[in-house]
Structure 1
Amino acid sequence: MKKSINPVFLFIFLFWGISVFSQDKKKFSNIDGVMSKIIPDHKIDFWVLVHNSYGKNKEVKISGTKQDYVPQFSGFNLRPGEESFYYIVYSVGGKISYITEIKDLKDFMGKADNVEEAALSAVLEGYMIDEQFVDIAANYYEDSSSYYLDLGKITSKECPYQKTHYTLTVNKSTGVISNVKDNGPYMEVYTKKCPNNPRLLKIEKKEEPKDESKKQPVKKRK
């Protein structure tokens, strides 16, 4: 005799499966892709995202009818250690403005409208989307109320140069970071100048030379 499956049990099992699946982590493609998802907080005529790498400008995204603008020679760097920067050109009421400092990105985005803006809001707080370590510090998952971001942060520029990764919980309604979990360092770079370099600390202890000379008995004069 076959036993019938309890509908309540089946529902719970399916709900659990969907919940687990929904928590599969998704990777941020790259910083260009994250920046391209910005939704301006106010009505604008057009905006252009420009990435300058080693002196060469590249228009990553153009939204609206682009007008002529003056190329900028400075901006905000989202890739530490790389000779590159971003800047944004936008127009409101025919007046062209430029965003070359990262602090001004907050007013341009407003409250986080998507996970990419949530990640950028965290970047404004000192975190980083680490493209070199995507599985550790450039991914996320979400549920109905929050984004859960795995991001990095440079926690030491001294000896050693160190990166630490964190899991940030960002409320979808408010955009506020409600919880930060420290997952520990994931990269440490020591140089020869570091006094705490493990290699330099492994100094072989030299054994004190043993005095193998034997004392000769003093000869008495006859």
Structure 2
Amino acid sequence: MKRTTTQLTIIIFLFLGILGFAQEKKKFSSIPNILQQIDPDDNVDSWVLVYNSYGKGKEIKTSGGTISYTPQFTGFNLFPSEDSFYYIAYSQGGKINYVVDTEALKKFVGKIDNAQEASIVLASDGYVVDEEFKDLAGNYHEDKSNYYLDLGKLTSKECPYQKTHYTLTVNKATGVVMNVKDNGTYIELYNKKCANNPRLLKVEKKEEPKKDEPQKTPKRK
């Protein structure tokens, strides 16, 4: 009986360990590394991922044979404050095509094969991996059925500029977003032009003399 109880205890701890491992959150790596996890589903012969910064393009991933493409001057970005951009040139059926926005990127990815592709697809809806706040908006975990992604989103460009973080449940089989949980605002930034800036509201304004109030003349000694 004692032996049976011991074996049962070991099994329970093993089960809890496996469950805990499945729920362990992993931080996304850098944006370039995320993009390099793309595995397109269509019959793409070869493709190249290009990073453009200050007008200079740098190939950060090539797949398949070498292709001759025209440098692009617009592209997609997975983080709203970046000045640079990415684009993809790919060969399909002897024709060169380009991916220069997040909607085309979503189609290029096709079926979601990993958590990185899930975050890339969600970029077309404004969700981002916030590299500055990965604990809140740049991590994920998964189980047998779903990916669970903690991502950020720019929810106001007005005063105050703000970001909100969400937990999105993405079904592995269908790629459908099953649930979106709003975890609240994690950044609020004011500037001097914001009329509702709390710092400006604390500034004491000098009271101007009332027009109807007679001016007092100094008394002569």
> Shorter-normalised TM-score: what interval?
0.7 to 0.9
Counterpart amino acid of 2:88?
I
Matched, 1:141 2:167: no
1:181 maps to what in 2? 181
SS class of match (1:60): strand
Matched, 1:107 2:107: yes
SS class of match (1:124): helix
SS class of match (2:125): coil
SS class of match (1:150): strand
SS class of match (1:122): helix
Number of residue pairs matched? 206
2:214 maps to what in 1? none
2:199 maps to what in 1? 199
| Deviation by residue 1:168-189 (Cα, 9 ceiling, x = unmatched) | 1111111111011111111111
Alignment of 1:18-167 (within 5 A): 18-167=18-167
SS class of match (2:127): coil
Counterpart amino acid of 1:159?
C
| Deviation by residue 1:77-127 (Cα, 9 ceiling, x = unmatched) | 222122111110000122111111221112211121111111111111211
What TM-score do you get using the length of structure 2 for normalisation? 0.88
SS class of match (1:111): coil
Q: More displaced, 100-109 or 86-95?
A: 100-109
Unaligned runs of 5+ residues in structure 1 are: 208-222
| Deviation by residue 1:111-168 (Cα, 9 ceiling, x = unmatched) | 2111111111111121111111112111101111111101000000000110111111
Q: More displaced, 4-13 or 128-137?
A: 4-13
1:169 maps to what in 2? 169
SS class of match (2:128): coil
**In the aligned structure 2, how far is the partner of 1:88 from the partner of 1:138?**
23
RMSD: 1.8
Unaligned runs of 5+ residues in structure 2 are: 208-221
Share of identical aligned residues, percent? 62
**In the aligned structure 2, how far is the partner of 1:132 from the partner of 1:32?**
15
| Deviation by residue 1:21-72 (Cα, 9 ceiling, x = unmatched) | 2211111111111111111111221000011112121111100011211111
Counterpart amino acid of 2:62?
I
**In the aligned structure 1, how far is the partner of 2:38 from the partner of 2:200?**
47
Q: Which has the larger radius of gyration?
A: 1
